[in-house]
Each structure stands twice: as C-alpha cells, then as structure tokens.
Structure 1
Amino acid sequence: MPTLPREQPEPARSHQARQIAESFGTDAQRYDQARPRYPNTLVEQIVAGSPGPDVLDVGCGTGIAARQFQAAGCTVLGVEPDARMADFARARGTQVEMSTFEAWEPAGRVFDTLIAAQSWHWVDPVAGATKAAQVLRLNGRLAIFGHVFEPPAEVAEPFAAAYRRVAPDSPFGNQPARRPLDMYRAGYANIAEKVRETGRFTDPVQLRFDWEQSYTRDQWLDLLPTTGGLTRLRPDQLAEILGAVGHAIDALGGRFTMQYTTLATTAVRVGTR
C-alpha cells in the first residue's frame, strides 16, 4: 500500500509536497486519534542516550510523539507550520511555535534532543541537518524516525486498485500496492548521509523496531483518510476507496493484523561551536 511514500514526495514535486503537507490538519482530531504511537522502546532508547530532558520536536503535528516524550520525563517544544495541528497539540499540553523548521528562529536556545517523528521528509535534508547541529548542544542527540505503513496484500491490493480507478491522473496512482522494506531503509540511509556530511555528528546509527497492531475495519478506515495520498481527494473519491478497502477487510473477518516496522536514524552532536 503506497501510504508512506505518498507522504515522502519527490523533490521535483515540491509544490505538490507543500499542498500535501498542509492537508494533514484538515481533521487534526482524527489524525491524532487514528495514527499509531511510537514504540516505547524507541522513546526510552532516545531518552537514555540524550544528555538531558530538553527536546525539540520538529514537525510535531498534533503532538503524538511529544506526549510520549513528556511521559518519559522530557520537556518538549514543538515546531509546526500548520496552525490547526499546532492548536491541537497546544490544547493537549505541548508548547508549540508555528514555523517551518528551516525558518524557525531558535533565539539562542539549544536542546538536548531533536526529534522528527514522521516529519523529516518535509524538511530540506541539507538545511535541516545543518540547523539540527546548530540547535543541539554538544553531545545532544538527533533522532529521526517513522513507521513503515504496509498492510497485508489482501488489504493493500484492493486499495491500490481503487486508487488507480478513482484518481487515474494522480502522480501517486501508479505506485505499487506494497513496497519492500529495503526501499524505506534506503530512505533512512539517505537521511544518515546528509547528517554525516555536516561533519558535526557522530556516524549515524540506524535502528529498527518491529511490532504489530490489530485493526478492525472501522479503525483502519478511520486511519486511511489521514494519510497523504487521501487527504486531498474529493469526498466521492474517498468514499469509493474506503468502500473497496472495507469490503476487503470484511472478507478477512472484519479485522487484520498490521506488521509495523519503525525505522530511525540517530546521531550525537560533536565538535565545537
């Protein structure tokens, strides 16, 4: 199912990327409710490897990751360009400043940890890595992570067929129903290379966390409209896709188990200021 790649657009489609990025706040409450949380072991590992509790959350969205880090004892400042997402996060206890990361003004502040949860693909990879080094204190930790969204073929194939049918002109419609994990790992390897090129971090380490989550028909159909390939479809197009996927899940007995992989690139700030 081409969900995650649709949230990681090609640079040549930067204008479309901006439109997609700004579409996630259309239903911030649904996004926050339906999107999966991050493995506790990932959060614990990042916190344990950081020099202190001050966290900068780049592209914090509705504050899903921020709240997990707050629960682990951290103080989190979010940076988020979408007012709807920022307002939702603030209402649930996360301090948020509205801006893209590239344009955000740190005003001399530095942090122990910088995280980007399912958001770094909206950041310029070169400028972002350089700015991350600027806002992290020495020995501060950079952690960029996200989920692989690839449901079983019995769910992914009907989704892809319906998407191609209702949105044949979409640049995402010709993507395969499912993509191999190696394609996602290559994306995180590219992130690591940009971090390495700054010369201001230790050699990046790649982390992998495998886990699973069971979805009922209604739970999965609640999540799908929050994904990048669907947020900008017309209501009739969305309804047709959800109908096809719902029928497929019904054929599986009304639920399925999603095998998730959460990937991360992490590195430690070194050198002199």
Structure 2
Amino acid sequence: MPTIPPAGGRPAADEPHQHRGAAESFGSDAERYDRARPRYPDALVHRIVTAVPGPEVLSVGCGTGIDARQFQAAGCTVLGVEPDARMADLARRGGVETDVATFEAWDAGGRSFDAVVAAQAWHWIDPVAGAAKAARVLRPGGLLAAFWNVFQLPPDVAEAFAAVYARVLPDSPFNAQAMRKQGPDAYRALFAKAADRIREAGAFAEPEQWRYDWEWTYTRDAWLDQLPTHGTLTQLPPDQLQEVLTGVGAAIDAMGGSFTMPYTTVAVTAERTR
C-alpha cells in the first residue's frame, strides 16, 4: 500500500524521496505500524528466496522488520537498514539486526548480499542512487526486489471513506474519484520509474514485474488500528485524526462492521549481472 498520493495528487517533479518528513513520520507510533500493517505474500518471499544464490538478505527501509521477519522465517539471514531510530529499535527487539541510516548514506563496510529487498520503501529512496547502491552491495546473480502492497477500495467503501475525508480534510487528494482509482494501475508510473532507474544503473538484467492478488477482511477496529499508519495521516494533528477515525468507523458500522479489501502486491525485480 504505497503511502504517497495516487497519480495526480502531486506534481511530477515532486519526488517522494524528497519528503523526508513524511518518509520518517511512520515511527511516531512504531508499535501500531508493526501490529497493523499487512504482511507480504508468502509466495513472493519464496520466489525471491529460491531465485537468489544464497541466504543473505539486506532489507532496505526495513521499518519495524515486518518483511525481514518473513525472510528470516524462510531461512534467510537478514540485515536491516532503517533511517528512523524508533522503527529500527522495534526491529531489533523483534530479532532483526538493523543499522540506522538512509540507504543512500549507509556504509556497507565491505559486506555483500544475495538479495536487496525494499518492502513498501523504495519510493522513499532516491531511485538513481538507490539502484546504484544496490548494484554495489549485491553479489553477481543476486536480486534487487522492490515491492509494494497496493489496496483497491471497493466502490461503496471508497465513496463512504471519501465523504469523511471531504468533510474533515477538504484539501486532501483522496477524494471519491481518487479513492476509486486506487490500485496497481494508479501506481503504474511509480513501478515504471523504478524499473527505468534500475536499467540506468547498468549492472542488472532487464527488470521484471511480479504480481500477486489477494484479499483481507477488516473489522472496524482492525481498519481503524491501521489507518493512522497511512502517510496521509501520520502528520495530522490529533483532533483531526480523531475526526477521521470517528467518521470512518461510523461508515464501517453502517456497512455491517467489516469489509473485504482486495490487495495486489507488485514487485519490481532485477538480477545483478555484473
């Protein structure tokens, strides 16, 4: 679920990675983030693990270690790199060795890896510098895999939520039309840009795009627990955030107390060839 506005919500020249305040706002409630954010398909983790020459994985922008723990469970040794010390501390408490740094400035200290992964984080990294850095720390035959969970609100849910945003946050880009258009198509330009910058690094085979479709049913409480971790809300004043939560909670109650969310996980991957 990329936490940047959908297409049209921000000028093209205004790159997500330039918004460090937004990028590093998620640690304001790291435990909620770790508890409420969705995991990634086991099939994706398995495909990455079986595609690489060894078990050593670097998780870039690892946050609280959600993806890192999934790779550990699949038998990998994982090092995380995370710029927010609050998120990194929680990742360490969860058993993930984590360095505090932006990926662009991080010192690998001569270490190399079989896979460099970025779960829900590559758009916060300079795409040119990030691809070049990944090439330097990957072993030949290693894999760069940047992936995102993208949700698609059902039409009736989108309409109900948009009405709340229009009332509480009238300047938000998440109006009814934008909410209806959320999903992998809305982020096509993001995925294409990631692939283009990987090509420019000159050290990778032709990038591939992998897609996994799945769904999850949210109760009212589960969705309200996750909602404050979305990038559009992490920097809201508490009173406005509470208005959003109250309004969205009432909308879910009106739907019967739960709804089913279609998700697509999209991965942009490339093998390091030289």
TM-score, normalization by structure 2: 0.92
1:64-213 counterparts in 2 under 5 A? 64-170=66-172, 172=173, 176-179=178-181, 180-213=183-216
Change (3 A) 1:254 1:43: same
Shift of 1:162: 2.2
CA–CA distance in structure 2, aligned partners of residues 237 and 33 of structure 1: 23
Shift of 1:252: 1.6
CA–CA distance in structure 2, aligned partners of residues 267 and 167 of structure 1: 39
> Could you say which residue in structure 2 is the equivalent of 1:244?
247
One-letter amino acid of the counterpart of residue 71, structure 1 = A
CA–CA distance in structure 2, aligned partners of residues 264 and 164 of structure 1: 32
CA–CA distance in structure 2, aligned partners of residues 160 and 20 of structure 1: 22
> Could you say which residue in structure 2 is the equivalent of 1:267?
270
CA–CA distance in structure 2, aligned partners of residues 233 and 178 of structure 1: 23
Q: Name the count of aligned residue pairs.
A: 269
Shift of 1:126: 0.6
> Could you say which residue in structure 2 is the equivalent of 1:49?
51
Report Cα offsets for 1:149-180 as digits up to 9, x if no partner. Answer: 2222222223223223323345x456722325
Match of 2:41 among 34, 39, 43: 39
CA contact (8 A) 1:4 1:149 kept: no
Unaligned runs of 5+ in 1: none
Matched, 1:4 2:3: yes
Change (3 A) 1:13 1:265: closer
CA–CA distance in structure 2, aligned partners of residues 123 and 15 of structure 1: 5
CA–CA distance in structure 1, aligned partners of residues 42 and 244 of structure 2: 33
CA contact (8 A) 1:86 1:98 kept: yes
TM-score, normalization by structure 1: 0.92
Shift of 1:5: 2.9
SS at match of 2:236: coil
After TM superposition, the runs of 4+ consecutive aligned structure 1 residues lying more than 4 A away are 7-11, 13-16
One-letter amino acid of the counterpart of residue 270, structure 1 = T
One-letter amino acid of the counterpart of residue 200, structure 1 = A
Report Cα offsets for 1:217-258 as digits up to 9, x if no partner. Answer: 000010000000011111111111112211221122111111
Match of 1:19 among 5, 18, 21: 21
CA–CA distance in structure 1, aligned partners of residues 224 and 161 of structure 2: 11
